[in-house]
Each structure stands twice: as C-alpha cells, then as structure tokens.
Chain A
C-alpha cells in the first residue's frame, strides 16, 4: 500500500480513537451510546497492536523468525506440535478467557462506567497484553518452561517457590468466589438450578460418547452436547412452571454451596474423561458462541448506557464492595486489564504449539486484547441497566435490608430511581421469583445480556435469554472449578511428593482422595463463609482474589524485568517495570487498607473487632450471634492471608532487584537459561495462512 495512504488511515484511527475516548470521558448527560465505548476500544487496540506491540517484538524482544521453536525442535506429535497460528490463537484465547472478565467489570460498575472502562483499556495495552506477550516469548526461548521454573532458573529458588505458592492460593480463593457467584445465581431459582444441574449428566453422556461409543470424535460429541445444553435451558423453564417438580430445585444458599463442594470433590477424583474434559469442550463452545453473539447484538442494537460516568461511590461507600476508587477499581478488574493467571498459560502450554516466533505478537498480545474487549462488553451489559435496577440486583441484604421495600428505599436515597413493582415485573419477565440481593455479577450480567439479546433478537424470549446467560456463565465457572481443583491437587501432590514418594503419585488413589479433600476443604471453607455472610461474601472474597491475581502478575513481570536486565536490555526494561511498579503500588495500597483501615467495610481487623464488640455487648440477634464467631475468625484469617500475599510480593521484588543490581555491578548471577539458536527448517506456508 502507498505509504501516505497508510499514514492517513492510522491518523484517522488515532483521531477517531481520541474523539471516542473524550466523548465517553467528558459526557455528563443522561446517557451515552455503547458504540462510543466499542469505538474507543477498537481504535486503542488497533494502535497499540500496530505500533507498541510491533515495537516490543522488533526492538525489545527481537523475535527471530529463522529460529526453530520448541514445538519444532521437540516435536513429539503430542504436546509439542508446530500448529497453525490461528489454531494456537484459538487455544490460547479459550484458555485465558474465563469468567473473570465478565464478573470484575460488572462489580466495578458501581463506580460508574468510566473508571472501569479506562482501566480495562489502559491496563490491557500497557500491562496485561505486554505481560502475556513477553512471558510467551521468554517461555518459547526456554523450551516452553512454566513461570515457576523460569522464576527459579532466572531469579532463584525464592522467586520460584513464591510463584508456586501464589498460584496455589489464588486457585483456592478464585474457586471460592466463583462458586459463590454460581450459588447467588441459583438460590431460590428452580430454573437456573435445574439447568445447571442438567449440565453434569450432559457432560457425562458426552464423556462416554467420546470415550467408548465413538472414541476421539470430538466435534460430533460436542455438537450433540451443545444441543442438549440448549434443550436443558428450555426444559428448566418447564420445571419452573411445574408445581411439584420445581420444589425439588428450590434451595437456599447453604445447601447449594454444599452441593457445589460435593460436586467439586467428585469432579477432582473422577477421571478427566468423564466430567472435566467433556464439560470443557461444551463450555468453550458456549463461551466463544455467546461472546460472538453478544458482540453482534451490541452492534445491531447500539444500546444506551444508563449508568452515570462516575457515581458517588468513588468515595468508598459502594454497596457491592467497600473502598475508594483508588486502589479498588484496579483490584476489582484484574482479568480484562491484567491478570497474572495468564502468565501460567503463556508459559508452559502455548509455547509448545507455537510454530514461529513471528506470531508471538498476535497470540500473546492479540489474545489479551480480545479478552479486554470481552471485559468492555461485560461493562456495557452491566451499565445498560437502569442504575437503580443494577444496584437492586447487586446490593447484598446486609447493606440495603432484607425486605424489598427497605432495599428500594435505600437505593432511592442514593439518588437512583427504582420501584418494587419494577423489580417484580423484571423478575417475572426473567422467570425468577426475585432478583434482589443477587450479588456476584452473574445475575445482573444475565439481565443485561437478556435485555440486549431480547431487544436485538425478540423480546418475548427474555426469560429464556436470562437463563441461557446464567447457564453459560455457570458452565464455565464450573469448568474453572473442576480444572482449578485438579491443578491444586497436582500441585499439592507435587509438594507432598518431596516428603513421601507415594503421596506424590498422581494415580495413587488414597493420595488423590486425600489431596483433593484438602483442596476442596480450602475453597469450600471460603465458599461457606461467603454464603453465610450477610454482606454477601463477594465484598470480602473478590478483593482478596484481585490482590492475589495482581500479585501473580507482579511476579510474572518481575521475572520478565529480571530477564530483560540480565540480557543487557536495561534501557527497555521499563516496558515491564512500568506496569510492575503500578501493580505494586495498587496491590500494596489495597492490602494496606484491607488490613489496617478503620472502616469496617474495608479493614478486615476493624470488621472483626467491631463484630466482637457488638457480640460482647449483646447487640446481635440470637440467630446471627451463632455465626458471628465464624465471621470474626474469617476476617482475621483474611487479614493474615492478605499480609502473606504482600510479603511474598515484596520478597520476589527484592530478590529480582538484588539479581539486577548484582548483574549491573558486574558480579555473577544465575546464567541465562535461554536455549541456543537452531535454524528452523519448517516450511511455514501451512502454519501461517
């Protein structure tokens, strides 16, 4: 293409991006069209990908297309396989995009649409996408080693151990909070509960089909499974309208939590082919399909956003979670902006498929941009709701009151219009008995999605769309739950294997049961506390998860920065050092406030002390006094856990800085673990079309 023409196109993209961004940032009117958010996002992604990511690949990492990748050198036809770049992209995206980018932005919408949107955009292009891309690159240069191994090889034992322990703890917190999201979506909803329950036998049928009836015919089996899933959504509606059947699926939060805990244990002990593998296929198709559908619906409908740009809750008094805009918006939205968990996929799994280093930008940076876009769509789906409705669905009973009338009065007092009739009508439209206090993000996102889908594809199916959205979220939350419990179990077995050989064997049944039980008990405890907590549990668990996830991101960026400095690229080290510094500031501030704040909605110790004092003074009604000691213990435990996360983070940073200082001072450090250059002999036409 002519050079000037290219320049003109990119200038146009730039101007359009700036215009869209200033429109969403400066708008203070009644509402704004969602298309502005989409336009701003696409322009920013395009510019960042074309210029920043290309510059990093060419100048900082110096990707080398003549160099054979691990997939080529170690090709074994199984896990190391040179693979078409679009296929690798698909695998990588399906692996990194979980429920996180859907839940986080929905919760952060309590601050208004603007802060979350800006952080999703800026965090992704300068932080998350860079982290994923450099981790993928460094792991590719090291035979596809995992983040933990790279940390050990390049920084030292401390960094490696920290990465391992951090991953394990994140997993526990993540599963608990996701379990809580599902419980809040299913409680007293026979439709949602029966649909989610039906996904288990459906997965098993598909598992049998792929295993014994038609071995390895994955696509066939998946097509049958998706059809069954869609049918289960419709069948859930029949059950809901059936007077006797619906009673069997109408439960309180606590029994549902125990059911999920039992399910999690069964899923971790059962062989993968029966439950986990088939469920994963189904959830992946559902996920990709629904995300595409949502994008299409937003383009067709171009809905208006009703949430204000910024709400009064930036002062820290928000109903969904306490805490000021800084630092809590950056903790609440982890996935979608920057997520440390991605570094585990970008190292270890994806590099073993990569056919050429040229594609690192597209797969590492590009897939993260797409996930960020998913987060933007979740933000849109949450903010197209009337703010009053949004807060009515998401505010826990402990904040706004148990009765609908009290909740509505409280929300009205914040200046957001909503009525009891309006909420009842909405619940009726969605086929639910009530939508109040369904904290966690899934139900409000489902209402948002249902209203977008309903307006775009037909309004009479609202209840069906709502339960489709709930099923879609539940199925991949449960996949994360299965997969996470299993990974936790492997890690634990790995650690215990150092003390007792037998316990380390992944096929030794007593050890499998023992370690699975420990992992399930770990997240089951937090899930249980979250369910009995009148303030919704999400208020406690989600910030904890955010801090843990950002800590893992900081560890990944530490490893990357250390490697850059050791490779003599000190002047470029800011590409990872900059997001690292920001994350350290954010995580440390958030952790400090969670531990020491005197505000009982933020500080763990403050909340524990307040509750103890009230309990001692006899101010707590008898039924709540029973659970109060558990809540007090949990708040204290959470405080120590947060302290532990920050301590780990600072130890890794100190370790990295020490290694860098030694290297720059000319002293010897651990040698680079990069493998030597081998000329590629792949004819790469077929992998690049």
Chain B
C-alpha cells in the first residue's frame, strides 16, 4: 500500500521532469503506429530526446 503510493509518486516525478518521455513515446508508438504496414521504426532515445527538447522550447514556457 505504502510502497504503491511511493511508486506512484516516483512515476509522477519522472513524468513531471520528462525523465520517462521516451518510454511514453515508445508506448504511444507501439499502440498507434507499429501495426501499420508502412510504419516507420520508432526514433532512437537520442534522436527522440533531441526533437523533444527543441519542440519544448518553441513557445512561451516561462513566465514572470
């Protein structure tokens, strides 16, 4: 019970910081794109992270 809560909190921290962004992307890719015939292979961790970081800073992300 307690352990589950801690696990949950850790998951949230990972998600909040973007630590698990690649795993989430892979899960999304496997669920929606992998079964199509012309599916492209998923990005590598490095390539994904590059793209993720660039797109994250395209707009207004920080305030006064």
Residues of A in contact with B (beta carbons under 8 Å apart): 75-79, 81, 83-84, 86-87, 90-91, 95-100, 146, 167, 174, 178, 210-212, 215-219, 222, 272-273, 276-277, 280-281, 334-335, 339, 341-342, 344-345, 348-349, 479-480, 483-484, 486-487, 490, 545, 549, 689
Chain B residue nearest to A486 (CB atoms) is: B57
State which residues 24-64 of B face A: CB under 8 Å. Answer: 24-25, 27-29, 32, 45-46, 48-64
Which B residues touch A549, using CB under 8 A? 64
Report the Cα distance A339→B63, complex, angstroms: 9
Contact of B53 among A99, A277, A345 (CB under 8 A): A277
Which B residues touch A219, using CB under 8 A? 13-14, 17, 19
Which B residues touch A490, using CB under 8 A? 58-59
Q: Are B62 and A483 in contact (CB under 8 A)?
A: yes
Q: Are A344 and B63 in contact (CB under 8 A)?
A: yes
Taking A215-B49, A219-B13 as contacts, is the C-beta distance between A344 and B19 under 8 angstroms? no
Residue B1 is within 8 A (CB to CB) of chain A in the complex: no
Taking A84-B12, A87-B12 as contacts, is the C-beta distance between A480 and B53 under 8 angstroms? no
Q: Are A99 and B52 in contact (CB under 8 A)?
A: no
CB contacts between A and B, total, < 8 Å: 117
Taking A77-B25, A210-B49, A216-B49 as contacts, is the C-beta distance between A276 and B57 under 8 angstroms? yes
Taking A77-B24, A83-B15, A217-B19 as contacts, is the C-beta distance between A95 and B64 under 8 angstroms? no
Number of interface residues of B (CB under 8 A): 36
Contact of B63 among A218, A345, A486 (CB under 8 A): A345
Q: Are B28 and A341 in contact (CB under 8 A)?
A: no
Report the Cα distance A650→B58, complex, angstroms: 30
Q: Shortest Cβ distance from B36 into chain A, in angstroms?
A: 15
Chain A residue nearest to B31 (CB atoms) is: A77
Q: Helix, strand, loop or mixed for chain B's interface?
A: helix
Q: Are A348 and B62 in contact (CB under 8 A)?
A: no
Q: Are B60 and A86 in contact (CB under 8 A)?
A: no
Q: Are A344 and B60 in contact (CB under 8 A)?
A: yes
Q: Are B15 and A348 in contact (CB under 8 A)?
A: no
Chain A residue nearest to B8 (CB atoms) is: A689
Q: Helix, strand, loop or mixed for chain A's interface?
A: helix
Which A residues touch B63, using CB under 8 A? 95-98, 100, 335, 339, 341-342, 344-345, 480
Q: Are B57 and A81 in contact (CB under 8 A)?
A: no
- The contact sample of 26 A-B pairs, CB cut-off 8 A, is A75-B28, A84-B12, A87-B15, A95-B62, A98-B63, A99-B64, A100-B63, A210-B49, A211-B50, A216-B19, A216-B48, A216-B52, A219-B14, A219-B19, A272-B53, A272-B56, A272-B57, A273-B50, A273-B53, A277-B56, A280-B62, A342-B63, A484-B62, A487-B59, A545-B64, A549-B64
Which A residues touch B32, using CB under 8 A? 77
Chain B residue nearest to A278 (CB atoms) is: B53
- A83-B15, A219-B19, A222-B17 given; name 19 further pairs at CB < 8 Å: A77-B25, A81-B28, A87-B15, A90-B12, A98-B62, A216-B52, A218-B18, A218-B21, A219-B17, A272-B54, A277-B57, A349-B59, A349-B60, A479-B62, A483-B57, A484-B62, A487-B59, A545-B64, A549-B64
Q: Are B24 and A81 in contact (CB under 8 A)?
A: yes
Report the Cα distance A391→B61, complex, angstroms: 35
Which A residues touch B58, using CB under 8 A? 490
Q: Shortest Cβ distance from B43 into chain A, in angstroms?
A: 11
Residue B16 is within 8 A (CB to CB) of chain A in the complex: yes
Which A residues touch B15, using CB under 8 A? 83-84, 87
Q: Are B60 and A215 in contact (CB under 8 A)?
A: no
Report the Cα distance A545→B46, complex, angstroms: 40
Q: Shortest Cβ distance from B52 into chain A, in angstroms?
A: 7
Contact of B25 among A78, A174, A215, A341 (CB under 8 A): A78
Which B residues touch A90, using CB under 8 A? 12, 16
Which A residues touch B52, using CB under 8 A? 78, 216
Q: Shortest Cβ distance from A645 into chain B, in angstroms?
A: 16
Q: Shortest Cβ distance from A652 into chain B, in angstroms?
A: 19
Query: Looking at B13, B25, B63, which has the most chain A CB atoms within 10 Å of its CB?
Result: B63
Q: Are A480 and B62 in contact (CB under 8 A)?
A: yes
Report the Cα distance A339→B55, complex, angstroms: 25
